[in-house]
Amino acid sequence: MAKVRYRYNSETCKYEPVIISPRIAGRRLLIFMSISFIMGLCGLLYFNYNFPLIDETLQASRNQKLKTEWTVLYKQLERTSRQLSTLEHNDDKNYRVILDLEPLDQSQREAGVGGHEKESSSIPYPLIRTAYEQADKIKNRLDIEAQSLEQLSNELTRKEKMWASRPAIQPVSNKDLKHLHTIFGLRMHPLLGYVRPHNGLDFTAPQGSPVYATGDGRVDFAQFSTSYGNVVYINHGYHFETRYAHLTNFIVGAGQTVKRGQIIGYVGNTGLSVSAHLHYEVLYKNSPINPINFFQRDLNNKEYEKLIEVGSMATSSLD
Amino acid sequence: MADTKFHYNPKTLRYERVKISIFNIIITAVSYLAVGCIFFIGLVLLQNLIIETPSEKKLRAENKALEHHKVLLTSQLWQSNQQLAELKKQDIALYQKLFETKAPSESSPVYPEREELLLAGTSDFNESIEQLGQRFSELIRSAQRSSQQFGAGVHVDKEDVPLLTSIPSVAPVENFEVAKLVSGFGVRINPFHKGQYHHDGVDIASPRGTLVLATAPGRVILVKKSDLVAGYGNYVEVDHGNGYITRYSHLEAISIREGQAVKKGQALGSVGSSGGSIAPHLHYEIIYEGKNVDPVKFIVTGIEAKQYEVLLSNSKKQNQSLD
């Protein structure tokens, strides 16, 4: 219980208890509140004068943090761009060189950038606008690189087909081969007895040894002829044709597609021939060329050159 | 004093003057301050709620834009990165098809940017530290290797100088880069029949028309031109003396004559795809005392140690040659 307070009344000469009426209490409270309020207000004024507004501070620090995050975003953009550059460099300097295609120049790689008005260009903050520009540029370059890679891939597929079509192996396996007559050019014909061009190479092998297509192609002709005997012509496209003569029999028909290494017939002695052998011709743009240049089995380039020279010397051959 | 207050002390049975103690004063002051503080806080909050200064407004708008576009851009970048990853796969597939061998893996792992480290959590940070540590030990190792390779003392006698100058020690094309050496010396895959054969030189892929350079002083002993779509095509041989002969094949054009003396670095012709070749490139051979030797062991001048290591490892890949 609060102590009762008294006041000395000089008129009555008595101590009288102090009665605090609600009005007085209210007034006191009001005074107390006012003074406190004024103090608070002073504090506020002082604070405003000396420090920025709290909200502003908060926003400013948020701004700072966001800007750091944006710096990171920029770095990420840069990294993506750098990795893309590596791809583009590979594309231009390696693939396009090897596939014999013109490298894309810078203007082609950056085509389409800045053409149409983008909504991002109306953003009033250069930080954001520039990032969009960079991101859009990357997007464009990616699309162009995607197209380019597709082109390269198509070109490679086309070339692979071309390489696969090229006569590139021996038509008779080394294990069947008894002797390779590397005579190409004019020579005395063993049966006819006069000089006429020998337009191919002779592979001596036992009758019935398999004869392989030397490149991918389509059989143009598979028939018996009096001079060639049973003969197969393969059209390889890209100006190449190969002929396989004096076969015992052939197992492919005209119009059939063949793969390199596929057996097309067997070594024989049909037509103008004195013993079992394969007469093999390679034609480029319809003229016969030395087949020695179109296979390479355990041969290094030096021996290869030697064979070409030997092949050009005219001596006797088998057909 | 009219306002003097008393209170009744039942022990002494007297009215005693109420003393105003320091304690009372402090209590009063603190209560004023406390309520004042409450008012202050209230006023600040009220002010923040009502008043918006122009700079705050600007900041708020900017933050909103930054946040909004960050999300958009991040997702756009994410999509781009996905596409990039897809393209990388295609690139590797193309490489494998082209060279019939595995594409070189990305040798350098991606290191985080400094700014990313600032934002990273502790686990990311530790990981980065670990990566940096690995990178550091890698560098140490490579430095040790280099010093082993190149640190050995070299002594050259005066009589050896002509021998040294006759060694074909530079790259045989202009603007040579290690990445251009696409197929090395040794057993390789033939691009036409895909079988293995011995590749007697190195293939340096270069755009058509790139100059082919003599790798040491010497005399041109052979110039051969051929329309045949097989073999060396147009090629040149240069004799450097002391048993060294170099051969440059699949040329497009030849700019020297047989018997002509050439200086080191002199143009012999230009890169092409003549003969049995699937791509514009120079097929370069070094023949020492009648035997083909690995030219990579000779291309040492003008190449940094690190690049040379790349060259060496490139040349050892058992890939497809350009023939």
Over the stretch A131-153, which tens digit does the pLDDT of each residue have? 999 999 999 999 999 999 999 99
Interface test with A, best of B73, B81, B92, B204 (most A CBs within 10 A): B73
Beta-carbon separation of B63 and A44 below 8 A? no
Q: Nearest residue on chain A to B10, judged by CA atoms?
A: A3
Between positions 94 and 113 of B, the ones with CB within 8 A of A are 94, 97-98, 110, 113
Predicted confidence at residue B252, as pLDDT, reads 94
pLDDT score of A198 more than 90:
no
Digits of tens for pLDDT over chain B (323 positions)? 456 778 788 888 888 777 778 898 999 889 988 988 999 899 888 887 887 778 888 888 999 999 999 999 999 999 999 999 999 999 999 888 888 777 666 555 555 555 566 666 666 667 777 777 788 888 888 777 766 665 555 666 777 777 778 889 899 999 898 888 889 998 888 888 777 788 999 999 999 999 999 999 999 999 999 888 888 999 999 999 889 999 999 999 999 999 999 999 999 999 999 998 999 999 999 999 999 999 998 888 878 888 888 888 888 888 888 88
B294 touches chain A (CB under 8 A): no
- Read off the pLDDT of each residue in A166-195 and give the average, rounded to a whole number: 78
Q: B249 versus A170: which is more confidently predicted?
A: B249
CA of A247 to nearest chain B CA: how many angstroms apart? 24
Q: Using pLDDT thresholds of 50, 70 and 90, give the confidence band for residue A311.
A: very low
Mean pLDDT is highest, among A35-39, A303-307, B303-307, for A35-39
Beta-carbon separation of B113 and A128 below 8 A? no
Q: Which chain B residues contact residue A298 at CB under 8 A?
A: 197
Residue B102 DSSP label: P
Q: Which chain B residues contact residue A153 at CB under 8 A?
A: 90, 93-94, 97
**DSSP string spanning chain A?**
-PPPEEEEETTTTEEEEPP--HHHHHHHHHHHHHHHHHHHHHHHHHHHHHS--HHHHHHHHHHHHHHHHHHHHHHHHHHHHHHHHHHHHIIIIIIHHHTT-PPPPHHHHTTTTT-SPPGGGG-S-HHHHHHHHHHHHHHHHHHHHHHHHHHHHHHHHHHHHHHHHS--S-SS-TTT-SEEE---EEEE-TTT-SEEEE-SEEEE--TT-EEE-SSSEEEEEEEEETTTEEEEEEEEETTEEEEEEEEEEE---TT-EE-TT-EEEEEB--SS-SSSEEEEEEEETTEEE-GGGG--SS--HHHHHHHHHHHHS------
Predicted confidence at residue B235, as pLDDT, reads 95
Predicted confidence at residue A307, as pLDDT, reads 46
Q: If you average pLDDT over every residue of chain A, what do you get?
A: 84
Q: Which chain B residues contact residue A75 at CB under 8 A?
A: 113, 115-116
Token pair, residue A10, equals 């000089």
Predicted confidence at residue A319, as pLDDT, reads 46
Predicted confidence at residue B106, as pLDDT, reads 55
B83 touches chain A (CB under 8 A): yes
Token pair, residue B302, equals 């003008």
Beta-carbon separation of B73 and A304 below 8 A? no
| Number of A–B residue contacts, CB under 8 Å | 246
B68 touches chain A (CB under 8 A): no
